[in-house]
Amino acid sequence: MTKNPSVLCVVDTRDDQQMTADCPLFRTHFEFDNSATTCVFSGATDCVTVGFENGHILQYDLKTPDEPCLSNDKAHRVI
């Protein structure tokens, strides 16, 4: 079975330099193990939350993209 890895990349569409150059505002430097299916931006525009199909949630601070700042790695139980 082949995986389709997800990579998170955030650009500011108001900045044409980010749209034309390969220099996004934020990009994860690794591939997720599971497919990311949901991405939510907060009103403060400095955090992004990513939800995965296995129930895990990661939150990133856009200023420090190397590691998630918060995580919930407990998968939902199916009853």
pLDDT tens-digit profile of 44-71?
Answer: 568 888 777 777 788 888 788 778 888 8
Q: Is-above-0.75 flag for pTM?
A: no
| 18-31 pLDDT tens trace | 767 777 777 775 55
**Quick one: pLDDT at residue 71?**
81
CA–CA separation, 30 and 10 (whole Å): 14
Give the pLDDT band of residue 13 (cuts 50, 70, 90): confident
